[in-house]
């Protein structure tokens, strides 16, 4: 396969002895044509199979040129891999035969040869945009980052849990859920018989299910799709996105949670930068020239109360006036990062009434707070959110009773009755992570098939 040819010559530190390749014949080398250049005595093709940003140059006799050998067409090439005389590449393929597997009508094909299309333009073509260099690089980076996340957790003793996509719980309590019903249920009138006998939703988080597993395994994680029915078409929101979530048993310190956040970010980012240097370079050169990834060489830690005071003293006017007890908005988060020197910022100890029922009560007097932490990063705002969980049965039972949730979460109380331990965890938005390290402005451009309000193409 062409993939092996590309990987071979890209991985070599220096051009090999061409004699070593004199007997290497590559059959059924398949890929897509990125450029065609026909001269009087030679035909040049650049083909790519998606395994790398680099193209493989094919050199052929002009007699092998065909009418349907065009940009975008799928081809199979048979020939000999030899040392290239061109200083910009190590190897090239001297073609013996060229077979056009799938022709491409270049006049109606929306992607044009040697044209750098804006991300907004290619977003209109979800079935074709993976043929674009930028999206190709993005998808390779996503793949390596996904592998890096799994490697990090497995190397550190975490058990991977497949948490359910269909759930009867609203983990976040924000009410932004997609309810599931069958097509026949949708046609029925007011009285409905639920498929699961109870209302079911697409998950907004795997956290509560991870907490179940944290009662048997000291370290667990999950990585999968989550869903929010937020009616927004902003640059920050998707209806379907991926979350990395982890839960740690036997921990009583927010510092432990923050350390895992930091280590995860460092490890995965280092993996991406080492495995996909050319792909990352494409983004930093053409999409976000000023982008600089901070690998936590320095970070800042402030309390929520300190954050509010910083915002109140800010020389700029915010759309949402900062007051103690109010949630931090994106504009606040970005200002705090700027105020702290454009480094990652941990904000800890949020108001008790602002956060979900499962966060641990700090018991800290008039300004009642919980042991929660958000990680803010330049350009994006919140990247991770986590907390210590309330493991004390009386505290948890009292809060659920006040919220009228005691019956719905009886099973959650059982976890505190049978072998409970202090524990905590966090979640990281995978698409926001990619936005940050690549400098992509719109979250819709870091996922293969974006789903958002009023848009579900394909």
* Residue 64 and residue 95 in contact, taking contact as beta carbons nearer than 8 Å: yes
Q: Spelled out in words, what is the top-level CATH class assigned to the domain 129-445?
A: alpha beta
Q: What is the C-alpha to C-alpha distance for residues 102 and 53, in angstroms, rounded to an integer?
A: 21
Write down the residue that tokens 């979250």 correspond to.
Answer: 443
Write down the residue that tokens 């059959």 correspond to.
Answer: 27
Q: What are the structural domain ranges in the chain?
A: 2-115, 129-445
Please name every residue paired with 370 in a beta bridge, in sequence order, or none if there are none.
350, 361
Burial of 166 (0-12, 13-18, 19+ CB in 10 A): exposed
| Cα dihedral 131, 124, 120, 294 sign | negative
pLDDT of residue 20: 37
pLDDT of residue 318: 94
Please, what is the angle between helix 430-438 and helix 133-155, to 10°?
120
pLDDT of residue 447: 96
End-to-end Cα spacing for the chain: 30
Write down the architecture of domain 2-115 according to CATH. Beta Barrel (2.40)
pTM reported for the whole predicted model: 0.90
pLDDT of residue 4: 39
pLDDT of residue 174: 56
pLDDT of residue 296: 74
The model's pLDDT over 249-265, given as tens digits with 9 standing for 90+, comes to 999 999 999 999 999 99
Q: Which residues of the chain have pLDDT under 70?
A: 1-28, 171-175, 185-193
The model's pLDDT over 88-139, given as tens digits with 9 standing for 90+, comes to 778 889 999 999 999 999 999 999 998 899 999 999 999 999 999 999 999 9
pLDDT of residue 83: 87
| CA dihedral angle for residue 85, residue 91, residue 94, residue 98, rounded to 10 degrees | -140
Total H helices, total E strands in the chain: 12, 16
Nearby residues of 394 by Cβ (< 8 Å), 6 or more positions away: none
pLDDT of residue 298: 77
pLDDT of residue 7: 39
- Count other Cβ atoms within 10 Å, centred on residue 81: 21
pLDDT of residue 10: 39
- Count other Cβ atoms within 10 Å, centred on residue 363: 10
């Amino acid at each position: 396969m062409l993939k092996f040819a590309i990987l071979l010559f890209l991985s070599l530190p220096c051009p090999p002895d061409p004699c070593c390749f004199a007997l290497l014949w590559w059959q059924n080398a398949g890929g897509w044509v990125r450029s065609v250049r026909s001269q009087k005595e030679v035909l040049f093709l650049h083909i790519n199979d998606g395994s790398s940003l680099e193209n493989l140059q094919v050199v052929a006799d002009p007699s092998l040129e065909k009418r349907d050998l065009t940009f975008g067409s799928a081809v199979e090439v048979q020939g000999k891999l030899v040392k290239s005389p061109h200083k910009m590449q190590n190897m090239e393929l001297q073609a013996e035969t060229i077979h056009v597997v799938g022709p491409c009508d270049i006049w109606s094909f929306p992607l044009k040869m040697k044209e750098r299309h804006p991300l907004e333009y290619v977003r209109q073509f979800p079935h074709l945009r993976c043929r674009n260099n930028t999206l190709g690089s993005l998808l390779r980076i996503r793949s390596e980052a996904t592998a890096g996340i799994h490697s990090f957790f497995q190397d550190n003793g975490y058990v991977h849990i497949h948490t359910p996509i269909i759930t009867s719980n609203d983990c976040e309590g924000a009410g932004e859920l997609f309810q599931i019903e069958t097509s026949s249920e949708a046609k029925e009138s007011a009285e409905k018989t639920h498929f699961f006998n109870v209302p079911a939703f697409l998950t907004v988080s795997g956290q509560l299910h991870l907490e179940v597993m944290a009662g048997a395994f000291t370290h667990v994680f999950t990585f999968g799709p989550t869903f929010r029915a937020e009616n927004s078409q902003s640059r920050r929101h998707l209806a379907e996105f991926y979350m990395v979530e982890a839960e740690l048993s036997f921990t009583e310190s927010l510092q432990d949670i923050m350390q895992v956040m930091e280590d995860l970010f460092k490890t995965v980012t280092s993996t991406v930068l080492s495995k996909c240097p050319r792909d990352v370079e494409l983004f930093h050169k053409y999409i976000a020239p000023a982008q600089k990834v901070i690998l936590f060489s320095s970070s800042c830690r402030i309390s929520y109360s300190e954050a509010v005071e910083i915002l109140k003293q800010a020389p700029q006017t915010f759309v949402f006036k900062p007051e103690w007890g109010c949630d931090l908005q994106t504009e606040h988060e970005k200002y705090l990062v700027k105020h702290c020197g454009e480094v990652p910022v941990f904000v800890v100890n949020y108001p008790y009434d602002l956060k979900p029922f499962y966060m641990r009560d700090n018991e800290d007097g008039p300004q009642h707070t919980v042991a929660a932490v958000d990680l803010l990063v330049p350009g994006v705002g919140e990247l991770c959110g986590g907390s210590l969980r309330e493991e004390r049965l009386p505290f948890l039972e009292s809060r659920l009773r006040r919220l009228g949730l005691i019956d719905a979460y009886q099973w959650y109380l059982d976890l505190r009755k049978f072998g409970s331990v202090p524990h905590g965890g966090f979640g990281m938005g995978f698409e926001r992570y990619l936005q940050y390290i690549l400098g992509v402005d719109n979250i819709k451009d870091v996922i293969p098939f974006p789903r958002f309000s009023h848009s579900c193409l394909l």
